[in-house]
Amino acid sequence: MRTYRVIVSGQTYEVQMDNPFADSVEVVVNGERYSVTVEEPRTLASAPPVPEPVRIADPPRPVVPAAKAPEPAPRPAATAASGGEAVVAPMPGKILAVSVAVGDRVNRGDEVCTLEAMKMAMVVRATATGTVSEIRVTPGQSVGHGETLLVIG
């Protein structure tokens, strides 16, 4: 089937049909099938100012883009009540590596994991000095912006 652009009442549609010159034509418009009649071409003198090459018995409804689903809320960050400082994802991405283990001593600014975002590796650094008390991610896991990666106690 060939694809054509058709304008009906000012709305543009993509129409797929085999032979637009047949008397009765089956077309697919935005995924819906219709049976249409194609008028004979007119000479330039008898043609209306804006001819419609294809007349559709029931004009299709315009396609309305689907609403974008809301992004899930990030997991709550660790608080002083949980006994630590949360290290959170600076942007959504995938964990490539975790450089520390529970019980490791880290200083503020030490590398704790590597995050891949937009085809680039980003080093995530400790936000506090202390001992790693909890690791909430594993390599290969996708994380959202602000999601807690690990907790430093």
**Taking the domains of the chain in order of start, what are their residue ranges?**
1-63, 80-152
| In contact, 13 and 53? CB cutoff 8 Å | no
pLDDT value for 136: 94
Are the C-beta atoms of 101 and 123 separated by less than 8 Å? no
* Amino acid sitting at position 72: P
How far apart CA 127 and CA 99 sit, in angstroms, is: 15
3-class SS of residue 112: strand
Angstrom distance (rounded) from CA 33 to CA 133? 61
pLDDT reported for residue 78: 47
Give the pLDDT confidence score for residue 72 in this predicted structure.
61
21: phi then psi, degrees, rounded to nearest 5:
-100, 0
130: left (phi over 0), alpha (psi -120 to 50) or beta: left
Q: With beta carbons less than 8 A apart as the criterion, state whether 99 and 115 touch.
A: no
Domain 80-152 has CATH 3.40.190.10: no
DSSP character string of 82-95: GTSEEEE-SSSEEE
pTM recorded for the entire structure: 0.47
**Surface-to-core class of residue 124, CB atoms within 10 Å of its CB (0-12 exposed, 13-18 middle, 19+ buried):** buried
Which residues of the chain register pLDDT less than 50?
A: 77-81
Nearest alpha carbon to residue 74 among 58, 92, 52: 92
Helix or strand (DSSP H, E) at 74: none
